[in-house]
Structure 1
Amino acid sequence: MTGVRLKHQRITDVLAKEIRSGHRPAGEQLPGEHALAQRFGVSRTTVRAALAELSEAGLIATRTGKGSYVLFDGRPLDDSLGWAHALATQGIDTRVRTLAVDARRDEELARQLTLNTAEFVCVERIRELVADAVVVSYERSFLPPVPGVRDLPARGLGQESLTDVMLRAGLRPDHGEQRVSGRRIDGREAELLRREPGDWFLDTRRTSRAADGSFVEHVVSLLDPDHFQLTLAFG
């Protein structure tokens, strides 16, 4: 176990140095997992661990070469670690207001996600731009009630980052899927978003899973289409 850890940390250090020194300029795409595995003489699992650390450090934004992703004001967002991390990586200054943190039982969601338990911890938040206080998203994060998360309803989130709470609890997203549609917001949503009932918003549903396939997080977000858009990459 120690050997694998040292291997991935060595790769992290080398790539981080290349990025910070300007050897790999901003926006340059890193070689694929297979190429990096060959370069460093390690497994792709070790490479993924290194890339995850670089992503957590805000040095890279990792996403699959094909598929869909979200843009904020024209800038691509890797939201595998949540909107806060994705927006901060792009230098977008936002603040979050936590509306509720509670324990919930949702049989339908558990069925959709093929989970054995219907128990979740739900964190409900809105996000606004610091510059003009425009609310750009309303989010509900459903998390498994693992140690480090299950006590959130009692102690609250406070000033902690939900991403940091998840990582400390061992909830590390490796892969998943995101679905995006559009719909008109209802009265309660309009009040939270400071808009009019019937205004059009993007409705995204992202499910993240760990490398072993276990459930990490399900996020339902309403995104302001004046700032967010969906891009499909193919070919």
Structure 2
Amino acid sequence: MKDHQGPPSASGAKGAVERTKGGPLWKTVSAELLAEVLAGEFAAGFPGELELARRYGVSRGTIRAALKPLRDAGHITAHPGKKPTVVAGRSTAYGPIYSVLASIRESGMKHSSVVLEQHLVVNAEVAAKLALHPDAELFHLSRVRFADGEPIGLDQVWLPGATAGKLLEADFRDASLYGELDRRCGVVLDGGTEQLTAVLATPGQAVLLGCPEGSPLLLIERTGCHRARDLEFRRSYVLGDRVAIATAFGCKATPPRRG
């Protein structure tokens, strides 16, 4: 990466970017953009693809590849025909299920879902978790998630119907809940809490997941927030023998050199 004095403006010329040793060009661009996003350099607006391509002296294809990790992680959001925008205050600490669709695709496998329920319901227990009236309508989505045709988990989510009612029209056989929530409802979750518990598959879950009754499952219960308000309650049952979960946080130690 060429040196420059201070962060460039969104419209300023930056000059051709240099590839990081051993890595593709788009990763170099993506890393620099992420650093500037986290530093708040685009508070006034995020530049479009053409402007970024001119700024870095690369093709639009390289820019699209560089922006994809930022979108997937929730740092920016983009809608057809509009410039990407920075998601202010967005945390990426959503845990493993948040990015399950992207993780499956990045692993080279085909993702699909069988939708079991997609409707408005009344559920006093969930309403209480979201600080809503017991009779409040909730959007409820239940589906079995697959990777290369093999079931990997059962996903159940509830959101306030007043906020997420437009999700009734979405096709969740191969779509991200959070992507559709952003695109259709203009909502991006910016925080939350998770609890992980080991459980045994019930007879009904065993049928849906194609596993023996009593098989070990990892239950992930999440409450997702939007602007300091609890907006999502989610239960995900994951097959431990078909899914490996790994997360990264903070800095990473440099492996010691050998020889």
TM-score (norm 2): 0.59
Map Cα deviations across residues 125-173 of structure 1 (whole Å, 9 max, x no partner): 001112xx22101011112113662672xx5736572334311112211
User: Of the candidates 116, 139, 145, which is equivalent to residue 121 of structure 1?
Assistant: 139
Q: Which moved more, 1:189-198 or 1:83-92?
A: 83-92
Determine which structure has the larger strand proportion and give its number: 1
Residue in 2 that maps onto 1:225: 240
Aligned AA (1:100): E
Which is bigger in relative contact order (C-alpha 8 A, separation at least 6)?
Answer: 1
User: Of the candidates 168, 187, 198, which is equivalent to residue 171 of structure 1?
Assistant: 187
Aligned AA (1:201): L
RMSD of aligned alpha carbons: 3.9
Residue 41 to residue 111, structure 1, CA distance change in 2 (3 Å): closer
Give 1:7-46 correspondences, 5 Å limit: 10=10, 21-24=26-29, 30-31=34-35, 36-37=39-40, 40=41, 42=43
Distance in 1 (CA, whole Å) between partners of 2:72 and 2:250 is 25
1:197 aligns with 2:197: no
Map Cα deviations across residues 6-43 of structure 1 (whole Å, 9 max, x no partner): xxxx59xx9xx9996332578x9954976x12xx2749
Shift of 1:217: 2.2
Aligned AA (1:106): N
8 A contact 2:110–2:147 mirrored in 1 = yes
User: Of the candidates 198, 209, 228, which is equivalent to residue 182 of structure 1?
Assistant: 198
What percent of counterpart residues are identical?
Answer: 16
Map Cα deviations across residues 35-77 of structure 1 (whole Å, 9 max, x no partner): x12xx2749xx89xxxxx865733778634xxx843xxxxxx7
User: Of the candidates 101, 105, 127, which is equivalent to residue 84 of structure 1?
Assistant: 101
8 A contact 1:101–1:156 mirrored in 2 = no
Distance in 1 (CA, whole Å) between partners of 2:203 and 2:124 is 25
3-state SS in 2 of match to 1:95:
strand
Aligned AA (2:141): V
TM-score (norm 1): 0.64
User: Of the candidates 86, 92, 97, which is equivalent to residue 63 of structure 1?
Assistant: 92
Map Cα deviations across residues 209-235 of structure 1 (whole Å, 9 max, x no partner): 11x223432221001112133658579
Shift of 1:97: 1.0
Shift of 1:107: 1.3
Q: How many residues align structurally?
A: 194
